[in-house]
Amino acid sequence: MIKKFRSYICVPSKGNYARGENRPKVDCILCSIAERNPEVQQKIVYENKDYMVVLNIYPYNPGHLLIFPIRHVEDFEELSSEEVSGLFLLTQKSVRLLKEVYHPHGFNIGVNQGEAAGASVKHFHIQVVPRYHSEIGFMETINGTRVVVETLDETLRKLRSKASILD
Ligand SMILES: [Zn+2]
């Protein structure tokens, strides 16, 4: 019998994370990224004086972004109105960037606040995840390319090459 295998996007580091291995021992992962702490993996797509856009290093899909204020803020209601508008504008531009690079069919755009809501990082951040009608083998529909694994550095290179969209 001939088995037909479908290609899929594989995120090999996810298992380690779920088991609590390889998690850096720092107070706040997002502050550590903003401070360029060398003990923390930093995949910075964009930054300005107030905000950062980084790759989630345990992505749901390639291009899974975290958008956050550099100032350590935990709760949505602690953000100033200027920060709310700054973060949402940057989120909107991030969606444009992902459309330009990955042509996804949809997005999850959201915030988890509090452990009960599934937040594993207290520092306020907005997540943007590109989504596809068929997430198994979906890369075959883009440029006819079969992609099994995209490394974080490949994702970073692609997004940084168009990061002027975020300015
Ligand atoms: Zn923080």
Q: How many domains does the chain have?
A: 1
* Domain-located, residue 145: yes
The burial of 6, by beta-carbon neighbours within 10 Å (0-12 exposed, 13-18 middle, 19 or more buried), is given as exposed
**What pTM value is reported for the model?**
0.79
* Domain-located, residue 23: yes
* Domain-located, residue 8: no
CA 73 to ligand 1 center in whole angstroms: 7
* Domain-located, residue 34: yes
Residue environment code for 16-34, b if the CB has 16+ CB neighbours within 10 A, otherwise e:
eeeeeeeeeeeebbbbbbb
* Domain-located, residue 100: yes
Q: Which residues pair with 109 in a beta bridge?
A: 128
List active site positions.
Answer: 125
* Domain-located, residue 40: yes
CA 97 to ligand 1 center in whole angstroms: 25
- Domain encompassing residue 153: 14-166
CA 28 to ligand 1 center in whole angstroms: 5
CA 110 to ligand 1 center in whole angstroms: 18
Contacts of 132 (CB under 8 A, 6+ apart): 61, 104, 105, 106, 138
**pLDDT (average), residues 25-47:** 94
* Domain-located, residue 9: no
Span of 74-88, 91-105, 112-126, 137-151 with lowest mean pLDDT: 137-151
Read off the pLDDT of residues 2-28 as tens digits, 9 standing for 90 and up.
444 444 444 444 444 545 555 556 799
* Paired tokens of 92: 């909107």
* Domain-located, residue 7: no
Distance separating alpha carbons of residues 95 and 128, to the nearest angstrom = 7
CATH number at residue 104: 3.30.428.10
